[in-house]
Amino acid sequence: MGYTAKFKVWRGDDTGGGIEDFNVDVNEGEVVLDIIHRLQATQAPDLAVRWNCKAGKCGSCSAEVNGKPRLMCMTRMSTFTEDETITITPMRTFPVIRDLVTDVSYNYEKARMVPAFAPPADLAPGDYRMAQIDVERSQEFRKCIECFMCNNVCHAVRDHEENKTTFSGPRFLMRIAELDMHPLDTVDRREVAVEDHGVGYCNITKCCTEVCPEHIKITDNAIIPLKERIADKKYDPIFSIASLFKRNKQGRQAAPDTPHATK
């Protein structure tokens, strides 16, 4: 059954803005993004919103719904009561462009800083062979749709703008973990994870995991294992002494230089 919902939507740009009230019709089965589209169609034709697939797969429509990072296209109106006021704001960690659209280039800069996948030099691209059990851990991380809500919610940058130069956020720590677990990769990224990507900023408070729309266990399966692998190399005295006597079978190389985020 249709009803009229009370919406509060943040409107403005980098020079300022504020929350505006709207009453919008809601039909059965709709999601928040439908309501934002109806707002555009009926009351606020210049409302800026980024979206693409409306299926939770493109990662464009990230915003904050009643203060929580959500994909607008995957947030059903039926999860709210009819008399509830629903507040929509842009993500609060990235610079705002206009209304609900933010500039997420921080994430692209950090992505470029991760040393790329490096298979053994003598292995031709058609000859990659991997056992399923060796790749399945990293396959979980491949579900990422790059909505950047994890980086948006991470308090290390959300509450501390200055840490953006030194911390890459859960999305890219997960990328490093993915490559570190990759059976065909030859680069050791553990040093850069500490020095360039600031893995030590993460205090395992798990908000990234809480908001991930793909339900990736970012903290448990990527960041903590990465921290443990780094501890093997960097912080564990016994392990580092033992590794001196062991031939490094994988022969992992040091990470090559990558473009660094503008500081």
Contact mark string toward ligand FES, 56..75, x via CB under 6 A? xxxxxx---------x-x--
Q: How far apart are CA 150 and CA 155, in angstroms?
A: 10
Q: Which of 73, 118, 67 is nearest to 92 (CA)?
A: 67
Residue whose structure tokens are 């707002």: 39
* Residue 57 or 217 with smaller CB distance to other proteins: 217
**Candidates 20-28, 90-98, 206-214, 229-237; binding stretch for ligand SF4 (CB under 6 A):** 206-214
DSSP secondary structure letter of residue 125: G
**Candidates 7-15, 28-36, 187-195, 215-223; binding stretch for ligand SF4 (CB under 6 A):** 215-223
Secondary structure E strands in 124-262: 187-188, 253-254
52 binds, among ligand FES, ligand SF4, other proteins, none (CB under 5 to 8 A by kind): ligand FES
89 binds, among ligand FES, other proteins, ligand SF4, none (CB under 5 to 8 A by kind): other proteins
Residue 49 touching ligand FES (CB under 6 A): no
Number of residues that bind other proteins (CB under 8 A): 64
**Candidates 47-55, 99-107, 124-132, 234-242; binding stretch for ligand FES (CB under 6 A):** 47-55
Give, in order, the Cα–Cα distances in Å from 14 to each of 31, 69, 100, 101, 165: 28, 20, 12, 11, 20
Give, in order, the Cα–Cα distances in Å from 101 to each of 15, 50, 193: 14, 6, 30
